Amino acid sequence: MNQSVIEGHSQSEEIKKIPSLSIAPHWQMLEAILKPIAYYRRCFLHNSGVIRVKMSPTLPPQQVLISDPSVIKDLINEDGGRCISAPGQLNGLLSQVVGQHSIILLAPAAHRQRRKLLTPPFHGERLKAYGQLISALAEQTLKDLKVGDVFDARERMQGITMRVILTAVFGLYEGETFRRIEHSLASSISIRSGPFGSLLLFFPFLRKNLGPWSPGGKIKAADATIRRLLLAQIASRRRAVAQCNEENMPADILSLLLSCRDEHGQGLNDDELHDELLTLLFAGHETTATALTWALYWIHRNPLVLERLMDELNGLTDRSDPEAIAKLPYLSAVVNEVLRIHPVAMLTFPRRIEAPITLGGYSFHSGDVVMACIQAVHERSDLYPNPRTFDPDRFMNRTYGPHEFLAFGGGSRRCIGAALALYEMKLILSKLLLNNHFKLTPSSDRTNKPRRRGFTLGPSIPVRLKIVSRRP
């Protein structure tokens, strides 16, 4: 080490060098793409929690993964400072899904500004206003089924979360436009999360349009349809918002974005609006549906968890009060444990080291691209004893810090819709369980390992439930 001092640490302090994973880079990349959980476990098998890797062909070569909470805490505390930035360009792989103008890809200053615009609809009174809608949609989702019928949990959860996000974003509850957006978005997600979805994401030549029946052709057609529908909604809503004042402004997110102006009086153009809406639709739908699917799986794999949860739900004095449901401690613990044992995202958004710095006793170099490995943090036995066991009680007995529980990322790039996702999960689960007695089918009542579904992780086998009876 050439420098005598590294950002606040003297020479007398022990500074640890970050070890490197001793596997050929191309094998690392393939394993990270095809078998991500096995790869991340390999990274930290004989390591204290910080390791240099070459897992992504889309990132600069100086890649560092972290699973040590103390290092993550320092990283979060320094986030956005002189030595650490979160440039949106490092998230470029996501542009094929959310576009070039999404908040995810914005530079730090623009990201902060855009985040201020997008935060209000997902918090406070706006969030509470979605409560009755979410509850009603949850109660409706199985109305077409009868006792004895079997349903695919993921398909049904996708239907609920799609309707929630379309209502929040557009104020659409039903109708032809609603159905067309729903169908096109579902098609795009299905292609990208299918058997070859992961390869399509990382290898651009596989996305080449070879005709309407090729994966690239299907993606192009679905994305073109979505773009056409979203731009039509933007144009229509621009005309409507122009005739409104603050008192009669619609409460949906699109209207809010159309009415916002920056410090120079400039609003978002159509391309910016399109990409922001696309981001909200993708991020606010598929991820929550996947988490709900895991929740139904684990609850019904653990009879004692189900019994305790039902006791808590049945103890409600007012089952129609979304706020009372959202505050239930064991329900909250169950939801958190689902997100711990099966985080939908595998990594936090990358940070770049702008100047040499020491974090948690490790020396980081200028140019290092650093990511916290969510899966690895959530499997630390010193934080979560018996980490591969589903145990909601761990969240009843301890409060975890933002550097220890990373289901929604952390720091300046933490998921903006985290509060809505948690609210949704609690309300949907409560309504489904209060109204129905379910049982996993024999094919689903077995170990279900996560697998990559595009950018996220989901069940490797379908989670199917049988309606045993209706609850009074």
- pLDDT tens across 65-114, in order? 999 999 999 999 888 888 999 999 888 888 888 889 999 999 998 898 88
Tell me what pLDDT residue 3 has. 41
Measure the N-to-C terminal CA separation of the chain; round to a whole number of Å. 70
Residue 10 has pLDDT above 60, yes or no: no
Mean pLDDT of all residues in 361-384: 95
Tell me what pLDDT residue 197 has. 67
Of 447, 449, 443, give the one whose Cα is nearest residue 465.
443
Every domain of the chain and the residues it spans: 25-470
Mean pLDDT of all residues in 167-196: 76
CB contact at 8 A, 378 and 394: no
- pLDDT tens across 204-222, in order? 777 787 887 787 788 888 8
- pLDDT tens across 18-69, in order? 999 988 998 998 898 889 999 999 999 877 799 999 988 888 899 999 999 9
The pTM of the whole model exceeds 0.85: yes
Confidence band (pLDDT; 50, 70, 90) for 194?
low
CB contact at 8 A, 357 and 78: yes
Residue given tokens 């007398």 in the structure block: 12
Which of these ranges, 135-139, 200-204, 451-455, has the smallest mean pLDDT?
Answer: 200-204
Q: For residue 69, count other CB atoms closer than 10 A to its CB.
A: 22
Q: Which residues contact 270 (CB under 8 A, 6 or more apart)?
A: 231, 234, 235
Mean pLDDT of all residues in 219-247: 85
Tell me what pLDDT residue 4 has. 36
Distance, in Å, from the CA atom of 444 to the CA atom of 153, rounded to the nearest integer, reads: 11
Q: What CATH architecture applies to the domain 25-470? A: Orthogonal Bundle (1.10)
CB contact at 8 A, 295 and 273: no
Confidence band (pLDDT; 50, 70, 90) for 1?
very low
Residue 342 has pLDDT above 50, yes or no: yes
User: What is the pLDDT of the chain when averaged over all its residues?
Assistant: 88
Confidence band (pLDDT; 50, 70, 90) for 8?
very low
Tell me what pLDDT residue 349 has. 93
Mean pLDDT of all residues in 346-371: 94
Mean pLDDT of all residues in 146-158: 94
Tell me what pLDDT residue 195 has. 57
Distance, in Å, from the CA atom of 279 to the CA atom of 273, rounded to the nearest integer, reads: 10
Mean pLDDT of all residues in 363-368: 95
- pLDDT tens across 401-435, in order? 999 999 999 988 999 889 999 999 999 999 999 99
Distance, in Å, from the CA atom of 416 to the CA atom of 230, rounded to the nearest integer, reads: 21
3-state SS string over the chain?
Answer: CCCCCECCECCCCCCECCCECCCCHHHHHHHHHHCHHHHHHHHCCCCCCEEEECCCCCCCCCEEEECCHHHHHHHHHHCCCCCEECCHHHHHHHHHHHCCCCHHHCCHHHHHHHHHHHCHHHCHHHHHHCHHHHHHHHHHCCCCCCCCCEEEHHHHHHHHHHHHHHHHHHCCCCCHHHHHHHHHHHHHHHHHCCCCHHHHHHCHHHHCCCCCCCHHHHHHHHHHHHHHHHHHHHHHHHHHHHCCCCCCCCCCHHHHHHHCCCCCCCCCCHHHHHHHHHHHHHHCCHHHHHHHHHHHHHHHHCHHHHHHHHHHHHCCCCCCCHHHHHCCHHHHHHHHHHHHHCCCCCECCCEEECCCEEECCEEECCCCEEEEEHHHHHCCCCCCCCCCCCCCCHHHHCCCCCCCCCCCCCHHHCCCCHHHHHHHHHHHHHHHHHHEEEEECCCCCCCCCEEEECCEEEECCCCEEEEEEECC
